[in-house]
Chains A and B, each alone.
Chain A
């Protein structure tokens, strides 16, 4: 079974629409970290956010917000009022200490296209 599932392979929205990228993870560890990374068309990978398993507070950073729910093993990412510059591949990643020796397992990514 995949440890990190990003069920949406591709999403296309029109500018100013809100969009949510789903991430569902699987782990038996009690302590783990979740991450989101962005890969714009230029190709670099950029860290966006980190969340540990004990902190279920939602986080907002400008137009970006993250909803972490342990009950559903989800760590979803919402972009409000999307812009063309948000077009990128977004990766969710899980880092487990006990089970996986600390390495990050990435989901397959969601390609977001924001049209003007």
Chain B
């Protein structure tokens, strides 16, 4: 069973469109994240949720809106896509309540979604 799964794996779309990426984890973790990896492989955190509550919003444009219906799911919706949004987006999860213990827990990553905006 895949621990952290995200769909779709590839997403090709045109500028101005709205798209969503879904993420689910079956590890029972309390904290979930979205990371963006650009073409130079730099990894930057975008959002973090703990038990459906937003913890970190890392100065991401408000065209990006995460939604966590329950602690096992963290979806990412992107409005009005721009060329600069092209990247690989990784979902991740970690164990424990965020401020108490998840900082010391390794991240379990999904396989990434390669978003290409044309």
Contacts and interface: CB of A to CB of B under 8 A. Distances in A.
Contacts of A91: 43
Chain B: interface secondary structure?
mixed
Nearest to A91: B43
Nearest to B97: A102
Interface of A: 33, 35, 37, 39, 43-47, 50, 52, 89, 91, 93, 95-97, 101-106, 108-109, 111
B9 to A, nearest CB: 9
Chain A: interface secondary structure?
strand
Question: Which bracket fits the contact residues of B?
Answer: 20 to 34
B100 to A, nearest CB: 9
B111 A44 contact: yes
A104 B41 contact: no
A35 B106 contact: yes
Nearest to A46: B109
Contacts of A35: 106-107
